[in-house]
Structure 1
Amino acid sequence: MPVRYYDWIAHHRRRAADKIALVDLASGRSFSYAQLDDRASKLATHLRDRLKVASGDRVAVLALNTTDTLEVQFACFRIGAVFLPLNTRLTVPELHYIVGDAAPVVMIHDDDLAETALAVAKLCNVAAVMRLGPGGSYEAGIAAATPLARFEEVTLDDISTIMYTSGTTGQPKGAIITHGMTFWNCVNLGGPACISPSSVLLTVLPLFHTGGLNCYTNPVLHAGGTVLIMRVFDPAEALRLISDPAQGINVFFGVPSIYQFMSQHPDFAIADFSRLIVGGVGGAPMPVPLLKTWEARGVALQQGYGMTETSPAVMVLDREDAARKAGSSGKPVLHTEVRIVRPDGTDAAVGELGELWVKGPNITPGYWNRPDANAASFTDGWLHTGDATRMDEDGFYYIVDRWKDMYISGGENVYPAEVESVLHQLAAVAEAAVIGIPSEQWGEVGMAIIAVKPGHSLAAAEIHAHCQANLARFKCPRVVEFVEALPRNATGKIHKPTLRQQFSQPKPTDTAA
């Protein structure tokens, strides 16, 4: 029998109506659980009655971080509509594909992205458009509506959200997110992240991404805590807010680059992290030297692993193990199963590399309009993650790298994340990425692309010497390129397809002897 979905904003309104649920830092607005419940309820009425949004229809949002995005999410849930957050960094042609594929009936946008949103809405024949902000149709619609009289009956198996993956290879795929996936993620992360009604979270990752929406924004709201939303990440402002006792921030989450930028800011040395109970990190392999930098400031970063398709939590490292198991993603969360699988489909031994497969109520049922991707991505209900993983003798898991980022040099597998961690040991390195490039002699060799910290200098010879002292010869990059900054996607991850396109061939003068 299907299990019904329950709205946790309405629940917390009944229990703690006046407690602050959301703070929009850019506009200075704050909303209690009662106010958030009212706004989501009236927005739901407006979408259903005025804009004729029916159960199962998609509602798109193209906006920089704002509390309004969360109102749209809960309004959609209440009428059985499907929330469609859109990547704010994509171009009109890229969004044309996604919006054409998902076919939303409403496009909600902010002023900063109005030109793009309107162009895409026109190309895709979106029936209705709503503008956020003072004087916009969004606020007018809420003001004119009455609270929703009755929530649509939805179950944990029903679709709540479609999130499109970054599309690093081919066209992006729309991962189907069910109500149950979001709920189980709240349960799975709640314990390890120490989330409770007293949690105060600063959200800096984009809300169109599962990291911003679910690490830990939805879990904190599910618990009845408070979420502060930063419109665009700024390392100095993040450090200031975390240091301010009046804000009371005790929970934080970022991808490695977020922590890197904060640690490189001059205010890092004087920031007050004493109230921070949890500093979560995920989204990409975390360089151990960066973990040590934060550990020296008294913050044991809690590593984890997840994907859009897994809602996202799969593994979390407990705070008590953060230092002694630095580099590990921890152990599986409560309501999920994992396997490390050899290419022949058998389970890998302890210490042996294989592909991580996952299964459980937090896993996507599939991709929107992509039966081909569904067939290729699942085996007997197990999702193939594409991540090269090993488990140590204590049962801790290590995400070594993406299978597709691995390259083979002289018959040896090289995982760039391992090499990048060694490069980050050099004090002058601000950013580092390693890719495989063609080699007549070895098949492929490594290229290190380095951005140097301002005020520092670094020569290719120093990098070669450091790698030769710390890595097996076949792992050492043969080529070094220096750049001002590395290309990143919207969540701050280094975008290796761009690097591969840019650096397809080595420069002979840079090749190590």
Structure 2
Amino acid sequence: MSFAYFDWIAHHAEVRGDRTAAIDLASQRRFTYAQFDERIDRLATHLAGLGATKGERVAVLAGNSTDILETQFACFRLGAIFTPLNIRLTVHELAFIISDAAPVLLVHDGDFATMAEDLKTQCGVPHLLSYGAPYEKAIAASDRRAEHTPCAMEDVCTIMYTSGTTGKPKGSQTTHLMNFINCINLGIGVFISQKTNHLCVLPLFHTGGLNCYVNPVFHAGGCNIVMRAFDPGETLRIIGDPAIGLTHFFGVPSIYQFMGAHPAFANTDFGRLQIAGVGGAPMPVPLLKIWESRGCTLVQGYGMTETSPAVLVLDAEDAARKAGSAGRPVLHGELKIVDDDGNQVKKGEMGELWVKGPNITPGYWNRPEANKTSFTDGWLHTGDAARQDADGFYYIVDRTKDMYISGGENVYPA
């Protein structure tokens, strides 16, 4: 049975429209769910006029802002495929992705206007839209859409490009179902609710930024505070500000390292912070202990773009006795560790981690060969070597493919 995609923002606008949905720190703008819903609707009308119909791609090249989140949800209402681009890539690298995704529209901010123009010329992108004045003018001039485009949960809603083992990026497809399952998995795993106030500092072109925990917070009806780019001092100020009442935060280990080394760290009040999540790379135990010394237990986890992303979560109460573990499986998803022949190994033995379930990508965009080699009977080959201890906790111990991690991102040699 196929179920229709359900619009979270429209729901919250109807039942709790006066609650704050999003705050953009750079512009000091804040939106209630009712305001956010209306802006998304008007934007969807404008994007539809530029050809962003069901199945078409809309690419975004911009630093963090609430505008990106509006663009995502406008795409969802149209059935278009939201395609955020890594702003750290060169024009040459982005040109490969643009040519592969073939978007009808590239949305960008002022910092990337020149790159956007170059990509439009090189790749034949039909339309550009700039955040700022042109974007606001487009929203103001557009009517609200009378109807949303029907979408099934199995429909692809997002493409995120990740590096492949050949060095060529691959577009990992995310469905509405994957998004929903991740919201449930993380909602349970890290206690996300209507009362959640979450600070996003990771880039929104990355699954860690978009899905840990931005989308789950919107799903629950909480508030997302968006920082354009991570600043350790400003992040500590927000965490400690009683007027903000921050409850949730997620970062990669390097972010916690920078904050731990900042002069304000020693005097920051972490008492209101319920969840400090960490992922993207193994968390050094000495760094964990530095944060624990301030009464802040970090909740570790493991995932990847192809798994939407949550796969494992280590509960806070297990953090000390299972230091170094990525945790245990989230509710919706299956895991096993296999040898080179695909046979499941015993607990304590190392092998490759395979994942299966409703949180798994249907495949890579335009990559039939990669889809053949990356899956076996519905099991996704993660490429990560892992082991499971006698208590059922998983440890990510190595890579089965050549790769290093930079800022929480997987980087492969070309």
Q: CA offset at residue 393 of structure 1?
A: 0.4
Q: Deviations over 1:300-338 (max 9, x none)?
A: 100000000000000101111111111111110000000
Q: CA offset at residue 227 of structure 1?
A: 0.5
Paired position in structure 1 for 2:13: 13
Q: CA offset at residue 267 of structure 1?
A: 1.2
Deviates more, 1:353-362 or 1:285-294: 285-294
Please give the alpha-carbon distance, in whole angstroms, between the structure 2 residues aligned to 1:210 and 1:327. 22
Secondary structure of 2:384's aligned partner? strand
Match of 1:267 among 253, 258, 264: 264
Paired position in structure 2 for 1:114: 113
Paired position in structure 1 for 2:278: 281
Paired position in structure 1 for 2:215: 218
Residues 163 and 411 in structure 2, CA contact (< 8 A), matched pair in contact too: no
**TM-score, normalised via structure 1 length:** 0.79
Please give the alpha-carbon distance, in whole angstroms, between the structure 1 residues aligned to 2:238 and 2:412. 32
Paired position in structure 2 for 1:87: 86
Where do 5+ consecutive residues of structure 2 fail to align? none
Q: For this pair of structures, how many residues does the alignment match?
A: 414
Paired position in structure 2 for 1:40: 40
The equivalences for 1:39-188 within 5 A come to 39-48=39-48, 50-133=49-132, 135-136=133-134, 138-167=135-164, 169-188=166-185
The equivalences for 1:98-497 within 5 A come to 98-133=97-132, 135-136=133-134, 138-167=135-164, 169-405=166-402, 489=406, 491-493=407-409, 497=413
Q: Deviations over 1:124-161 (max 9, x none)?
A: 1111110101x22x111111111111011101100000
Residues 65 and 228 in structure 2, CA contact (< 8 A), matched pair in contact too: yes
Please give the alpha-carbon distance, in whole angstroms, between the structure 2 residues aligned to 1:245 and 1:78. 36
Please give the alpha-carbon distance, in whole angstroms, between the structure 2 residues aligned to 1:79 and 1:155. 12
Q: CA offset at residue 496 of structure 1?
A: 7.5
Please give the alpha-carbon distance, in whole angstroms, between the structure 1 residues aligned to 2:412 and 2:235. 27
Secondary structure of 1:292's aligned partner? helix
Please give the alpha-carbon distance, in whole angstroms, between the structure 2 residues aligned to 1:11 and 1:342. 46
Q: CA offset at residue 492 of structure 1?
A: 4.4
Q: CA offset at residue 289 of structure 1?
A: 1.0
Q: CA RMSD in A?
A: 1.4
Amino acid at match of 2:272: R
Please give the alpha-carbon distance, in whole angstroms, between the structure 1 residues aligned to 2:168 and 2:410. 19
Please give the alpha-carbon distance, in whole angstroms, between the structure 2 residues aligned to 1:195 and 1:363. 22
Please give the alpha-carbon distance, in whole angstroms, between the structure 1 residues aligned to 2:111 and 2:178. 31
Amino acid at match of 2:391: D
Amino acid at match of 1:123: Q
Q: CA offset at residue 497 of structure 1?
A: 4.5
Residues 298 and 316 in structure 2, CA contact (< 8 A), matched pair in contact too: yes
Please give the alpha-carbon distance, in whole angstroms, between the structure 2 residues aligned to 1:63 and 1:126. 16
Give percent identity, aligned residues only: 62
Residues 257 and 493 in structure 1, CA contact (< 8 A), matched pair in contact too: no
Amino acid at match of 1:39: R
Please give the alpha-carbon distance, in whole angstroms, between the structure 2 residues aligned to 1:186 and 1:121. 35
Please give the alpha-carbon distance, in whole angstroms, between the structure 2 residues aligned to 1:29 and 1:296. 35
Please give the alpha-carbon distance, in whole angstroms, between the structure 1 residues aligned to 2:272 and 2:303. 26
Secondary structure of 1:202's aligned partner? strand
Please give the alpha-carbon distance, in whole angstroms, between the structure 1 residues aligned to 2:268 and 2:277. 18
Please give the alpha-carbon distance, in whole angstroms, between the structure 1 residues aligned to 2:335 and 2:256. 28
Please give the alpha-carbon distance, in whole angstroms, between the structure 1 residues aligned to 2:360 and 2:30. 33
Secondary structure of 1:347's aligned partner? coil
Quick one: structure 1 residues 292 and 169, their matched pair in 2 at CA, closer, same or farther if it must change by over 3 Å?
Answer: farther
Secondary structure of 1:17's aligned partner? coil
Q: Deviations over 1:220-242 (max 9, x none)?
A: 11000000000000111101110
Amino acid at match of 2:105: V
Amino acid at match of 1:88: I
Residues 239 and 271 in structure 1, CA contact (< 8 A), matched pair in contact too: yes
Amino acid at match of 1:12: H
Please give the alpha-carbon distance, in whole angstroms, between the structure 1 residues aligned to 2:15 and 2:94. 40
Secondary structure of 1:108's aligned partner? strand
Please give the alpha-carbon distance, in whole angstroms, between the structure 1 residues aligned to 2:152 and 2:8. 14
